[in-house]
Amino acid sequence: MEWSRTRRDLFLKCPRAWYLRYGNPITSSGIPESQTSRRPWDLMLRAMKEILVERLEDLQEGKQWSPLLLEHQLKYSLQKQMDQTPNGIKKRYFEALLRYANHRFALLWRSRIIRQLEQRKYPCWYVLDRMESVSIGKQRIYASPDLAVLIQNKWHLIRFDMQSAPKKSSDEFEANAMVLWAKYRDGFPQSESAFRLHTIGWRRGFWHSETFQPTKDSVEQSYKLLEYDCQAMLEVHRYAQSNLAFLPLATMKKTCQSCSFRLRCPGGENLAIARQEQTLLELERQFVSSKT
């Protein structure tokens, strides 16, 4: 089972959407479902992330980007993402997405840590690959930070969220997953106190920063919850193999409104009715199995 924050978020919002995107990954066209079912907005966020990593890597080599170069790179990356979707988008929408991305980027570049890196305040820092996973037990964990910066003998692990969900109690648990990732990877210390965690996420028009100090207990707790997530995902996956119609639907109507599967899911049309129909189907199934 694979765990990442993105997978977890979707699983909690709608197990059915999670299964359609990650549980059954290959479409009839052979393209991974996780790619074809992305909304243009999500592709813009993905393009931003790609360019952020490229720009940070250049910063590490002492190369600065002009606003013109930034716009060009964002445009190229966004176009590349859109080319992989079955239906393109209108030019005006594309340009609007590009403007959003440019705006967010300009504000991100004013954040404290980026300015400090530009000023060469810290000699030891690394840009990390989010796609680099570690295996813990039977789980594959995608929890790499985007940056690791050594500041006064402590590793500051920093994650950028291009679109952050409202603040929630599980934020610390999700941030602690970065420590788990670091401990299972060569080159980082084993002690939790050797780390400090930062998440910088875009929420309601601003970049918000949160900081956590991990402890042995909080990281252990994080691992337990992560295992619990994976177990729940495995159960939904098994359940879906027998009949997709019984998979739990979204908990909130607004999840369906922005869901890329809504055209092929009963919940997309009317979540309340789809839930009632599902309950009736379930009762019928129980009735039939009690007769046999």
Q: Which residues bind ligand SF4 (CB under 6 A)?
A: 14, 16-17, 249-250, 255-256, 259, 261-262, 265, 267-268
Please report where in the chains the tokens 């969900």 appear, as a residue: 165
Nearer to ligand SF4, 99 or 254 (CB): 254
Shortest reach from residue 251's CB to ligand SF4, in Å: 9
Write b or e for each residue in 151-169: b if 16 or more Cβ atoms lie within 10 A of its Cβ, otherwise e.
eeeebbbbbbbbebeeeee
Nearer to ligand SF4, 14 or 128 (CB): 14
Shortest reach from residue 14's CB to ligand SF4, in Å: 3
Residue 170 and residue 177: Cα distance in Å, rounded?
11
Helices (H), the chain: 5-13, 15-18, 33-36, 40-60, 67-83, 91-108, 112-118, 171-183, 216-242, 253-257, 266-269, 271-291
Q: In the bound complex, which residue of the shown chain has the CB atom lying closest to ligand SF4?
A: 267
Q: Tokens representing 272?
A: 């309340």
> What are the φ and ψ backbone dihedral angles of 143, each rounded to 5 degrees?
-140, 25
Shortest reach from residue 16's CB to ligand SF4, in Å: 4
> What are the φ and ψ backbone dihedral angles of 177, each rounded to 5 degrees?
-60, -25
Nearer to ligand SF4, 8 or 156 (CB): 8
Evaluate whether 166 touches 208 at the Cβ level (below 8 Å). no
Nearer to ligand SF4, 23 or 214 (CB): 23
Nearer to ligand SF4, 143 or 271 (CB): 271
Shortest reach from residue 24's CB to ligand SF4, in Å: 12
Shortest reach from residue 33's CB to ligand SF4, in Å: 12
Nearer to ligand SF4, 12 or 31 (CB): 12
Residue length of the chain: 292
> What dihedral angle (degrees, nearest 10) is formed by the CA atoms of 155, 156, 161, 165?
110
DSSP code, position 243: -
In a 3-state reduction of DSSP, which class is residue 282?
A: helix
6: closest CA among 97, 127, 142, 137? 142
Shortest reach from residue 274's CB to ligand SF4, in Å: 7
Shortest reach from residue 125's CB to ligand SF4, in Å: 39
Nearer to ligand SF4, 95 or 269 (CB): 269
